Amino acid sequence: MWYIKYVHFCLRFLWPAPPEPAKSRKIAGYRLIFSGFFMFLVFAAIGGQSISLALSKTETSDYSYADDTQKDRGTILDRKGRILASTVPINILYADPKHIFNPEEVAEALAPLVPNLDKDSLKSLLTKKGRFVELNRKLTPKRHAAILQLGLPGIYVRPSTIRIYPQGAEAAHIIGAVDRDNKGIAGIEKSQDEKLASGRNVTLSIDTGLQTILRNALKMQITKFEALGGAGVILDIKTGEVISATSLPDFDPNHLMMSTDTARFNQVTKGVYEMGSIFKVLNTAIALETGALNMQDSIDVSQPIPVAGQLINDYHPVKGSIGLAEILVRSSNIGSAHISQKIGPKTQKDYMEQLGLLSPSPLEIVENGVPIVPENWSNITAMTVSYGYGISVSMIQAASAIAAAGGDGYYIAPTILKRSPNQPIEKTRIFSTQTAKAVRSMMRLVVSDKIGTGNFADAPGYLIGGKTGTAEKILNKGFNRKANRVSFVATFPANDPAYLILMMVDEPVGQKHSYNYATAGWVVAPAIRDVVTQIAPILGVHPIDITKPENSQNLLPPIMLDGKEAVYASF
């Protein structure tokens, strides 16, 4: 039968006949090699897997390193290490409306613990579509615990961070603020956003202690003279550091949304104004430096100067000729205008440029005002610029420029960041030491001599030098004689000026106690005296004995004012 052959073939295939002994040994050898190779592969696979398992990272270890990349925003510190802005953890209360079965009941239970929302608002939020509804961003630990105890379904708490400003409104304009995502939107928070976002700290040149003194003094004068506001800046003349800068009205950056646009406006750096007579300091310095006039020259100031249908006049008219010093001490507009003609418009413009008055200040802050500069710098422009009209600059620009004229003669770009002790300071010499000496001597006489306009700024012992400035505000393409911006720039101690203070009060109203005067001498000068008296001991400025040669040699020999020998000493 054919299939018997087939079955036989199959059986032989399954159970082959034993081979010959020699062939059998050969087959056994092949089998052994095959088995050995197979076993090797198995063990290699097991070994490989063991190594792979041993070397693999767990999910937890990955997480621990991922967390490191999330850095908290850096802290902003003042020059003495006080915290101006910091990031602290908070808990955000939120709801998942899908998990809430009875919004009425939940809203009623939650309402007493969520002060920013009443029951009805809560209920409408809890019935919203979506899976995330924020209820409160600033949950205190006490309220957090109380909400947890309620055990409400669908109400959850998520950890987050918030930017806080422990000093409140102090230096608010400089520090700025952040948005809800902790991204800088104003001030240092914005200009240094990259650095702060990477977790690094920023140390400012501001001293909060001095900031408080300056702000309080300014606030007091604003209240006393029913003014709209004011601003002030303290500058370190030797380093260009802004020690203090305040603008009133101000705001609390912790509650930014509650502030007005006016309060958020930084009058020190963003606002550009016609500075008025404080520019006469620059005019005098340029005249001396260029040789247009010297200390012995005198100018006839008895006649007003007609200019473009207007008269350049003096607040306190003088008959006859007066010297350069007396022009500054009496704050003569006529005298300053005459000086500007001797200087010439081109030279005046060149100096203004060198003093950083024609371009925005390089201060490390986003709110830097663009100066309003005359397009055509004519003789008339030179006259008005000489007494601070026709050119609008920011207070910080004016302070840096006057620091060069009334200090050591160097222009140093202002900075809001603290300089390290070994950091080189870029200085540009604008005025010679002799010019600077003459200018600071004359500024001292504005305060110390009885014909000066800034007598109320005199703080015995501290040798304050200064200059008053009163500028009429612009109204309908003209000037409003009843609305002034009064300012006072002071340097101290006059024999070796270390600090400059510039304060401005906006639209002060004459009062009974000021005999209805609302000039810089009445409004700002007393504030300067109060500020210097308080800050000088903190800054390590000791009272000066002017009778000592080492102090008096830094000022000019006695100058004749009003026919008499002027005096520098205040005690």
Partner 1 sequence: MRFVLFSCLIVALLGSWLYFAKLSVDEQYRTLMRLESEIKSQTEHNYVLQAEWAYLTRPERLLRLSNSLLQNNAITPERILPITAIPMRRAASSPALNTEAGVENVVY
The site for partner 1 (CB under 8 A) is made up of 32, 36, 39-40, 43-44, 46-47, 50-51, 53-56, 58, 60-61, 63-64, 67-68, 72, 82-83, 86-89, 164, 166-168, 170, 208-209, 211-213, 215-216, 459-462, 533-534, 537, 542-543, 571
Q: Considering beta carbons, is residue 390 or 466 the nearer one to partner 1? A: 466
Structure-block tokens of residue 243: 């020690």
Element holding 64 (H helix, E strand): helix 59-66
- Asked if residue 552 lies in contact with residue 545, where contact means CB atoms within 8 angstroms, the answer is no
Q: Considering beta carbons, is residue 14 or 54 the nearer one to partner 1? A: 54
Least distance from C-beta 141 to partner 1, angstroms?
A: 10
At what angle are helices 280-290 and 333-343 packed, to 10 degrees? 40
Q: Considering beta carbons, is residue 110 or 536 the nearer one to partner 1? A: 536
Helix ranges restricted to H, 96-186: 103-110, 119-126, 141-150, 172-175
Q: Considering beta carbons, is residue 50 or 432 the nearer one to partner 1? A: 50
The rounded distance, in Å, linking the Cα atoms of 295 and 284 is: 10
The rounded distance, in Å, linking the Cα atoms of 282 and 387 is: 9
Least distance from C-beta 530 to partner 1, angstroms?
A: 8
The rounded distance, in Å, linking the Cα atoms of 22 and 26 is: 7
Q: Considering beta carbons, is residue 80 or 429 the nearer one to partner 1? A: 80
Structure-block tokens of residue 152: 């409400």
The residues with which 327 forms a beta bridge, in sequence order, are none
Nearest to 246 by CA among 269, 227, 223: 269
Structure-block tokens of residue 435: 């010019």
Least distance from C-beta 63 to partner 1, angstroms?
A: 7
Q: What are residue 79's phi and psi, to 5 degrees?
A: -65, -15
The rounded distance, in Å, linking the Cα atoms of 499 and 239 is: 10
Write the single-letter amino acid at 225. Answer: F
Least distance from C-beta 54 to partner 1, angstroms?
A: 3
Strands 202-203 and 76-77: parallel
Q: Considering beta carbons, is residue 22 or 53 the nearer one to partner 1? A: 53
Positions annotated as catalytic residues are 277
Least distance from C-beta 220 to partner 1, angstroms?
A: 13
The rounded distance, in Å, linking the Cα atoms of 79 and 418 is: 6
The rounded distance, in Å, linking the Cα atoms of 390 and 276 is: 9
Least distance from C-beta 191 to partner 1, angstroms?
A: 22
